[in-house]
């Protein structure tokens, strides 16, 4: 509760944005994680065991990795079409807007493919998946996160 109060005061001073330098630091601030599997969405709230399992798995694959400049740009219509297939995780934040490297967002979306050695982090801002992305280069691949997601029950 105290942390939320401090965060609210900070956001008021900074004009409503909570700023971070490395996108990696944002994920544990999410209030919920959505796992999207072939268009079906499963939502896990902070404190739920599945939320913690997904977050822990993401942190493990990111260990030893680093953020890089991204060349990708998201187009809302195309991203929403892509969400109909494959495995995705979306981190939603209860604060109005967060910001990293002068790029604001209200949610972060990641496509999870076992063989990926890095991934784009798509920003959702003003309800749309549009604009520049972040990119995170991994020390290994995404197989551990992929396996974690596939092991989750597919019932909410």
| Mean pLDDT, all residues of the chain | 86
State phi, psi for 44 to the nearest 5 degrees.
-125, 125
pTM of the predicted structure, to 2 decimals: 0.84
Whole-angstrom distance, CA of residue 4 vs CA of residue 138: 31
Supply the pLDDT for residue 155.
Answer: 62
* Whether the predicted pLDDT of 105 surpasses 90: yes
Q: Token digits for 39?
A: 């268009």
* Whether the predicted pLDDT of 5 surpasses 80: no
Supply the pLDDT for residue 138.
Answer: 96
Supply the pLDDT for residue 13.
Answer: 38
> Which run of H or of E encompasses 68?
strand 66-68
* Whether the predicted pLDDT of 4 surpasses 60: no
pLDDT digits (tens, 9 = 90+) for 112-147: 999 999 999 999 999 999 999 999 999 999 999 999
- pLDDT-derived band at 70 (thresholds 50, 70, 90) equals confident
| Cβ partners under 8 Å of residue 137, min gap 6 | 65, 66, 67, 68, 117, 118
Angle at CA of residue 20, ends 16 and 23, nearest 5°: 120
User: If you write DSSP's letter for every residue of 36-57 in order, what string do you get?
Assistant: EETTEEEEEETTSHHHHHHHHH
Which residue's entry shows tokens 């977050």? 55
Whole-angstrom distance, CA of residue 21 vs CA of residue 24: 9
Region 86-113 average pLDDT: 92
């Amino acid at each position: 509760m105290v942390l939320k109060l401090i965060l609210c005061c900070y956001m008021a001073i900074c004009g409503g944005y909570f700023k971070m330098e490395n996108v990696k630091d944002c994920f544990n601030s999410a209030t919920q994680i959505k796992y999207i599997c072939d268009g079906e969405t499963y939502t896990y709230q902070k404190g739920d065991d599945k939320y913690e399992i997904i977050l822990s798995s993401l942190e493990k694959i990111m260990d030893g990795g680093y953020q890089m400049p991204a060349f990708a740009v998201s187009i809302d219509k195309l991203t929403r079409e892509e969400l109909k297939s494959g495995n995705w995780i979306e981190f939603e934040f209860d604060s109005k807007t967060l910001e990293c490297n002068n790029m604001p967002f209200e949610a972060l979306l990641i496509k999870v493919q076992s063989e990926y050695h890095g991934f784009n982090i798509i920003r959702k801002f003003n309800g749309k998946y549009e604009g520049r992305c972040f990119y995170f280069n991994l020390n290994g691949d995404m197989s551990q996160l992929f396996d974690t997601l596939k092991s989750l029950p597919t019932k909410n």
